[in-house]
Amino acid sequence: MLLLWIMMLLIGLLAAVWGFLACFLPSQWNRFQESISFADRWSESSPDRRHPLIRFGMRLGQCIGGLAVCAVGCSFAYMAASEIYLVLTGRATTHPVPPASGTLPNTPAPGITALSIFVGVAGILMAVFPAKALAVFGYVWPAGRSVTPSAAPKVMLVLRLCGVFFAVLAFMSLFH
Q: What is the pLDDT of residues 12-50, one digit of tens each?
A: 999 999 899 888 988 888 777 777 766 566 666 666 666
Pick from 19, 30, 21, 25: which is nearest to 67 by CA? 19
For the stretch 155-176, pLDDT in tens is 888 889 999 999 999 888 888 7
Q: What is the pTM of this model?
A: 0.55
Which positions ≥6 away from 12 have C-beta within 8 Å? 73, 74, 75, 76, 77, 78, 79, 80
Res 105: pLDDT? 58
SS3 content of the chain, % helix, strand, coil (to 5): 75, 5, 25
- The SS3 call for residue 41 is helix
